[in-house]
Chains A and B, each alone.
Chain A
Amino acid sequence: MPLTDIKDGQPLAEVLVELEKSYPVRFFFASEWLEPYTVDSQFKGMPIKSVLDELLRGSDIRYSYRFGYAVIFIRDPQRALEHEARLKTAIAKKKTIESRELGDRRKYKPGNRATITGNVKDESTRHPMAGVTVLVNDVETTATDEKGNYTINVLAGENIIHFKSVNFRERVVDARIYSSATLDIILEEAPTILDEVLISEQAVLNRRISQTSLRITDMKRAPTFLGEVDLIKQVQNQPGVTTVGEVAQGFNVRGGGVDQNLVLYDGVPVFNTSHALGFFTAFNADAVSQVSFYKGGIPAEFGGRVSSVLDIKSKEGPLDKWHGGGGIGILSSYLTAGGPVKRDTSSIMASVRSSYSDWVLKTIKSNYQDIQSASVSFYDASLKYTHKVNNKSKLTLSGYTSYDRFSLTNDTLYTSRNIAASIHYDRTFTEKLFGTLSVSFGKYTYGTSDDDPTQAYDLSYGITYPSVKLDFNYEGEHKLSFGVHHTWYDFVPGRLEATQSESIVKNIDMGHERSSESALYFSDAFYWREKFLLEAGLRASFFNRVGEGVTYHYAEGQPRLRQNITDSTVYKGGESMKTYFGLEPRVSLRYTLDAFASIKLGYNRMYQYMHLISNTAAVTPVDIWQSSNTYFKPQIADQVSLGYYRAINENMYEAYVEGFYKVTQNVLDFRDGASLILNKNLETTLLPGDAEAYGVEVSSSKIKGRLLGSLSYTYSRSWRKVDGAWEEEKINDGNRYPSNYDQPHVVQLNWRYGLSRRIFFSGTFVYHTGRPMSLPISGYIVDGVPVITFSDRNKYRIPDYHRLDLALIIEGTHKRKKILDGTWVISFYNAYGRKNAYAVFFQDNGKGFYNPYKLSVVGTIVPSVTYSFKF
């Protein structure tokens, strides 16, 4: 059956019908199957068999010749069946499916690949949405970038594309793709429903190694401590993250110190993430839109801290109409509101949270008159203004502040304040290239004061850090990012002033320590042979400590002690005192084994040019931030992480195991008996050493269904070694010893069970090995004064920590259009009243010696009720 009479571009179906007329043959097919296929003159004279073979190669259409006359066309059963199954699943899950045809029908060639690009926006705010997961035929493929853009490469034909983002209604597109095309999507906010698809913003297979996105809904539906929704406590629930206790600011990542975490609020570092000494987080979860957390494989755009990055992006105000919300708790209340200043052009978002806890203190009856005259208060506030200058550029102003104040005995006052303000100018140059210019100002001040006339003083510390950043992103086959950052630092490492004339306090001013940190970075992410996603980057950082200042010189061949000072060099203002340069390679590699499994590898080197000087395990109000100088070399961390990730049972579960090894150089530890406050020769009291940490994190989560949750176990160790040249410069005789955060076994469990569409029962359980401590082991009296001998540093441990928190969350009805949407959260923190030791301290046993006691900061079950609402 050769083809004789055919025209260019004649549809195949037509040709077959023609053939039926001339030959004793019948073709059985559904016309839409063959719709895309046309014949042209090159096939003239060829037998039909060859023509069909040629045309249908690589497509899902097969044919067979039967009964001597019939040619039966069939769709490839496998691909077709899969397609049907997916549609059925989607329908069963009550998802709305939209059918779309994409591309130019004439360009359709079966087996061709097509590139679909598009943009995803939020229906209410019209802002582009970053991190929206795009699944093609149930296989997670990509996620939208910061501009809401995505690109997928698919086999032409029928494909089902899902767009998912937490808190948004999922969109399912049954797309018949003929050729490359664009597909823009608008997602609308989902009323929180029971079967909410709780894929994280990017599922485990697709995330970078050691990266997590924290879900705001998770935070809001988790048990709280005294009713405060707590972002940092969610971070502490991540595998590989620990904390030294309830009254601990910040968190420890993979055996690192609290000062090694870079916490960014709209791109500006925030030094103090806590209120009330660490009891609560200084961020209002209602004003936060996105939280990404990196504990390894850190991208090149981040730098300056060696352990982790917590990148918090605040919410932008909606562009169409005003929305808001608030919450009323035991300790504090908050209010957020946002809306258009000019519809579709500019918007504003504001939030305020403030404590009113004084009355709680006033109601406590106690022998301690301090308590009744004390006051504890804090607030935080944020403001964001977004303005679309035109289609290609956007201006964002963001401001954040937090303030803390404790007043005790009417005299002693502790205060702390953060300010983080920034201006971002985003501009799209071409479809693929966009850039952001950011100018920011940050300030962190803290101190204590006393107004008792005879000892009135004010001890203040601070860091001021204005910064300029220019970042570019190029979205192509290679996803490039590059930029330049510069930050000026002005540290006030301590200023003691007598505040009243009678005061006996001597004024001591440590002056200012000024420095600057610049960085240049470049990174490239690309697919290699489809299965490999490689992201490689390099960051070059440069640090300059500038005058004015004094560098003391110590006698060579002698321990660095105050009595060995031989000379000093005085530097004038602006003069360079010490410079450091660091090259920081970053690599992150993903190898996709199949649709359900991947292997990831990460390596990063990070430089940190500032140090938190402390001689306690927990961060306290009088700890000192100190920039690098001649003696305090930058901390340099090298970390390798490797993991295996797997999605199980149609993405119902996910599980991973990840191991890491990290070494950090130039970590400072204090010399025994170090006096840190207002010490002009801090280098004599701090010893540089090396830190080593390694561990394995195993985690499994159920991410779909009524019951959601995760269980993880981490085994890790964190060591320090301080082995100077002299006996005075060694700790524990130069042997390695566990760091303050060495907690080998950590188990974390959290769950959320939907009792109904509106009522959730959630809980958290944590267990970790008690952290190390040193114990007094014997004593003696010399000239009437008791003296205690201590064990080696961190030789013993405080008792193991475990705690269960429970919560019942009752949300309002889920109608989309309603005036007020209220939620009640009833929490029980420390549900079984475990007296976990926060600290071990020593009390005089009446003979001048000390016996150890444990302090349990939370010694009982702590119930709380919070009401929050949205409008």
Chain B
Amino acid sequence: MRTRNLLVLLIMLLIGACVDPLKVPDIALEEGLVVDGAITDQPGPYTVQLFSTLSLDGDLDKRKYIPGATVTISDDHGHTVTLTENATGTYQTDADEIQGVVGYTYQVKITLGDGRQYESTPVLLEPAGTVDRVFFQFQENSINQNDLTKPQDAFAVYLDATGTPGASNFFRWRWKGTFHYIAFPELRTRGVGMVEIPDPVPCSGWVYTDTAGLEQIGPCECCDCWAPQYSTDALVSENDFVSEMEFKTVRIAQIPIDKRLFYEKYHIEVEQMSVSQDIYAFWKLVKAQQQSATDLFQPAVVKIKGTIRCTSDPGEKAYGIFSASAVTKNSVFLRRLDIPKGIPPIDTLKTDCRQIYTGATNQRPPFW
């Protein structure tokens, strides 16, 4: 509940409250193995990644992967597959070697190069249920804590879902957003002495020569792009308050009304993944951690254990999960027309559109 943050914010301003970075005592980083792996009922390959925990001020994009391990996935029906290390620390199954089956129980076992052994809590692959509907609502002034320097309005995206009778119906949701935007790489310029001269990006299809000036020599390859966005929030079903197995109007995402995101329209695809009780408990704690960590009141400490343990040395720290899920999907387009207000035109991005967002591509997605 953001109420409390606002309350404090309010009084803070009254009495000159302030926020400063806290100098934290030097804390020795507790390095431990992290396992991030999953098997689903969708076709493989499935990936298990092994890496170390990172210090919080470190660069998260530079994961410290752990190579040279032996990783196996086994089920309770006598199958065991050994994964291949395709990239450093990234272990994959062969494409059709194994596929998750509802009702089977899966477990990962890991032996590191130095002999330390780990295993995951066995997880039951439960049915996925259905995502009946993904829908949205325009909400004014609903984000960024009314910080007027940032977008205020947003689409709230919801879903209605149904579980499977007889199953435990613990779900985790994740989403992928896709939006189309344009750039103007042909308008790039560069300074020569005191003057700016055109310097179109080659992929724009335009060239500039002193003699002929600007000239289009081909189609633009980097003017129209589609960029993905992924959920970073832990989203799990609230099974506490649901007597049956229907989940109504579960808020999944909040997409800010932004001139680039809504240059044309925004596609959001939601995946509903069944999770076992242990994995559900893990995500639930992550959710609690995310909700409370930025609370201005004393944030609740949420220690998250995960489902991995070291079998060769019980004192050795291990983090992460190996999950087994059935997956079902649904999606919806958020259109510019659905915004009941005018929004400004897209800004003039004078560069290769693929370089603006990570994962951006100039290939129109099949569903577009």
Contact = CB atoms under 8 A, between A and B. Distances in A.
B258 interface: no
B116 interface: no
A839 B289 CA distance: 17
B22 A785 contact: no
Contacts of B146: 368-370, 409
Interface in A679-737: 679-680
B320 A782 contact: yes
A854 B20 contact: yes
B141 A409 contact: yes
A563 B295 contact: no
B293 A841 contact: yes
A857 B15 contact: yes
Interface string B215-231: 00000000000000011
B30 A785 contact: no
Interface in B40-69: 51, 53-57, 59-61, 63
Given A408-B10, A616-B295, A789-B319, A673 B302 contact: yes
Given A277-B7, A784-B230, A847 B21 contact: no
A731 to B, nearest CB: 9
A454 B325 CA distance: 33
B304 to A, nearest CB: 6
Interface in A794-851: 796, 798-799, 835, 837-845, 847-851
A276 interface: yes
Interface in A844-871: 844-845, 847-860, 862
A857 B11 contact: yes
Interface stretch (B90-98, B105-113, B280-288): B280-288
Given A406-B10, A454-B137, A835-B18, A778 B145 contact: no
A562 B277 CA distance: 11
A857 B20 CA distance: 11
Given A368-B148, A621-B4, A855-B296, A782 B232 contact: no
Interface in A552-605: 562-563
A253 B190 CA distance: 69
Given A617-B298, A790-B301, A849 B60 contact: yes
B214 interface: no
Nearest to A376: B10
Interface stretch (B191-199, B233-241, B262-270, B333-341): B233-241
Nearest to B63: A781
Interface string B7-26: 11111111111111110110
Contact of B16 (A371, A782, A796, A858): A858
B3 A448 contact: yes
Interface in A767-791: 773-791
A389 interface: no
Interface string B183-213: 0000000000000000000000000000000
Contacts of B6: 370, 374, 408-409, 412
Given A780-B51, A862-B16, 20 more contacts: A367-B147, A368-B145, A368-B146, A370-B145, A374-B6, A412-B6, A621-B4, A678-B241, A777-B55, A780-B53, A782-B321, A783-B38, A785-B231, A789-B319, A790-B302, A790-B303, A841-B293, A842-B293, A847-B61, A849-B60
Interface stretch (A37-45, A306-314, A358-366, A522-530): A358-366
B17 A563 contact: no
A43 B56 CA distance: 101
Contacts of B319: 780, 787, 789
B298 A740 contact: yes
A402 B106 CA distance: 59
Nearest to B286: A787
Contacts of A680: 240
A783 B7 contact: no
B139 interface: yes
Contact of B20 (A563, A616, A774, A835): A835
A319 interface: no
B27 interface: yes
A676 B138 CA distance: 30
For the side of the interface on B, what is the size category?
35 or more
B294 interface: yes
A672 interface: yes
Nearest to A675: B288
B103 interface: no
Contacts of B367: none
Contacts of B16: 858-860, 862
B298 A779 contact: no
- What are the 6 closest A-B residue pairs judged by CB atoms, nearest first? A859-B18, A673-B288, A860-B16, A617-B298, A774-B301, A778-B53
A791 B8 contact: no
B86 interface: no
A185 interface: no
A156 interface: no
B358 interface: no
A618 interface: yes
B350 interface: no
Interface in A621-643: 621-622
Interface in B106-165: 137, 139, 141, 145-149, 156, 158
A652 interface: no
A855 B17 contact: yes
B258 to A, nearest CB: 17
A276 B22 CA distance: 26
Nearest to A411: B141
Of the candidates B51, B147, B293, the one having the most CB atoms from chain A within 10 angstroms of its own CB is B293
B183 to A, nearest CB: 23
Contacts of B145: 368, 370
B22 A837 contact: yes
Nearest to A508: B241
Given A367-B149, A789-B319, A844 B294 contact: yes
B30 to A, nearest CB: 6
Given A673-B289, A857-B17, A620 B297 contact: yes
Nearest to A740: B298
B15 to A, nearest CB: 5
A337 interface: no
A847 B232 CA distance: 10
Given A616-B300, A858-B17, A563 B141 contact: no
A621 B231 CA distance: 30
B15 A854 contact: no
A279 interface: yes
Contacts of B284: 673
Contacts of B365: none
B259 interface: no
B300 A674 contact: yes
A448 B304 contact: no
17 contacts: A357-B14, A361-B14, A368-B147, A369-B146, A370-B10, A371-B9, A408-B6, A414-B3, A504-B158, A672-B303, A777-B56, A785-B234, A785-B286, A789-B319, A853-B22, A855-B19, A856-B19
Contact of B148 (A369, A673, A799): A369
